[in-house]
Amino acid sequence: EAAVTQSPRSKVAVTGGKVTLSCHQTNNHDYMYWYRQDTGHGLRLIHYSYVADSTEKGDIPDGYKASRPSQENFSLILELASLSQTAVYFCASRGVYAEQFFGPGTRLTVL
């Protein structure tokens, strides 16, 4: 099974501050994804990437940027964190048959 790790596992940020969430995968998967999970909304796709140095917008990209500096690493960047971005963030990578594997999640609280 694909190994996907995330850091930090939890973070408290102040409104207006910059937050960077990191994701690392070790199985040479081409596709990587960032989702957020909120009570009542399930999981929603923020950004994804299918190759290094390229990112694509998902369903809810506003307020987020993404960076894919290498095949293994995919970051989610909140330039100006807001209260509404308090959520749990999950990174995932895609295997050969479109099956996705998820990291442990990062719990972000914006105060």
User: Which residues are near another protein by CB under 8 A?
Assistant: 1, 31, 33, 40-45, 48, 50, 56, 58, 88, 90, 92, 94, 97-105, 107
CB nearer to another protein: give 79 or 99. 99
- 49 with 55: CB under 8 angstroms? yes
CB nearer to another protein: give 85 or 90. 90
Residues 6+ apart with CB under 8 A from 106: 6, 7, 8, 9, 10, 11, 21, 88, 89, 90
CB of 36 to another protein, least distance (A): 11
| CA distance readout (Å), 5 to 23, 38, 83 | 6, 20, 25
Indicate if the alpha-carbon torsion angle 36, 93, 54, 76 is positive or negative: positive
CB nearer to another protein: give 13 or 102. 102
CB nearer to another protein: give 40 or 62. 40
